[in-house]
Amino acid sequence: MSGEPLVEVRDLVKHFPINRGIILQKQVGAVHAVDGVSFDVMRGESLGIVGETGCGKSTTARLLMRLLDPTSGVIRFEGKDVAKIPRRAFKPFRREIQMIFQDPYSSLNPRKTVGAIIAEPFAIHGLNKGKGERRRAVQELMDLVGLNPEHYNRYPHEFSGGQRQRIGVARALALQPKMIIADEPVSALDVSIQAQILNLLRDLQRDLGLTLILIAHDLSVVRHMCDRVAVMYLGKIVEIADSDTLYRHPRHPYTGALLSAVPVPDPELASRRRRQVLGGDVPSPTNPPPACRFHPRCPKAQDLCHQQEPLLEQKPGGSVAACHFPLSDAEAAERVATAEPV
């Protein structure tokens, strides 16, 4: 990892308008999908973004890829404002960031051979290699991700779920991107296969010096993959820290609750841990609670939490969290129970 950010995100906001009326389409509200998010991603770093469904993590990924335009805020890639990249320079930018999607079943064209699917980015980006060269490049990629290069002419339905996700990884690597965004890459796969795909991503990230953003709803998935982890709740980052700090000394009560739900293989350790079940549902992002958005579900909430929004600030132990009354060492220890969750 180098000390220079590849990506800088500042005060990123994405609101989706809610319109009513067939003809006039009057705006009656907005979904606050991402609401003032700031973070850096360093070159060669792996950053996990974790949170429940609807917290804004996938929208953040789509904003980074410029698949969506932000409502406000700035995203800089290699120092350049992504929103100001002119149309003609857009393709080279897209080459630098590639995405791996959640569902390996629907993200591959069933009518194309694996060879054609992996070679697709070459044609899209005008890298028209000769037939033999293209085949060699694709087979090299297949080998790199653990697929048999001789299966070049097979169709997606002839592969298992894990192999299809490997095809998705090979396609993402075809253009030698600087950054990969993996959006819940294992959540559609059998548990037995998940570790294989995560290990593959970790090895590729390390061996190719890639920058990786891994999006997941489960903290156990990112633990062994990521240098740093950002936890999102209702469109905001509530805690960000290096992995060890976050898993050993969570400061935000929401991070503590997520960690208390991570499975622990040792029954004795599990029995020592205090499982914290969050009350209620995630509030609607169309009308998020005022001040601290977590206050309706937070076991530590006090009057101040209803009145004043907590800012992301450095807390004792190294974590950066947005909380007026962060977890003490003893409360954090109760929730993690062990320094080594799965």
Which spans of this chain sit near ligand SF4 (rule: CB under 6 A)?
A: 252-253, 292, 294-295, 298, 300-301, 305, 310, 323-325
DSSP state of 146: T
Least distance from ligand SF4 to the Cβ atom of residue 238, Å: 7
Residue 224: helix, strand or coil by DSSP?
coil
Residue found by looking up tokens 């040792």 in the block:
266
N-term to C-term CA, the chain: 25
Question: Which residue number, 235 or 310, has a Cβ lying nearer to ligand SF4?
Answer: 310
Q: Are strands 312-314 and 320-322 parallel, antiparallel or unpaired?
A: antiparallel
| Count of CA atoms in the C-beta half-sphere (13 A) of 226 | 31
Residue with tokens 């194309």: 112
Report in angstroms how near the CB of residue 272 gets to ligand SF4 at its nearest. Answer: 24
Sheet with 72-77, edge to edge strand ranges: 26-42, 5-20, 72-77, 80-81
Q: Minimum distance between the CB of residue 301 and ligand SF4, rounded to whole angstroms?
A: 4
For ligand SF4, which is the closer residue by CB, 214 or 238? Answer: 238
Measured from the CB atom, the residue of 241 and 305 that comes closer to ligand SF4 is: 305
| Minimal distance, residue 237 CB to ligand SF4, in Å | 13
Strand order in the sheet with 211-216: 97-100, 179-183, 211-216, 46-50, 228-233, 236-242, 320-322, 312-314
Please identify, using beta-carbon distances, which residue of 93 and 325 lies nearer to ligand SF4: 325
Return the number of the residue (82 or 292) whose C-beta is nearest ligand SF4.
Answer: 292
- Smallest separation, CB 324 to ligand SF4 (Å): 4
The nearer residue to ligand SF4, 35 or 184, going by C-beta atoms, is 35
Q: Shortest approach of ligand SF4 to residue 291 CB, angstroms?
A: 8
Q: At what angle do helices 131-144 and 114-124 cross, to 10 degrees?
A: 110
Return the number of the residue (147 or 257) whose C-beta is nearest ligand SF4.
257
CB atoms within 10 A of CB 119: 23
Please, what is the minimum distance in Å from the beta carbon of residue 327 to ligand SF4? 9
Nearest to 39 by CA among 173, 190, 237: 237
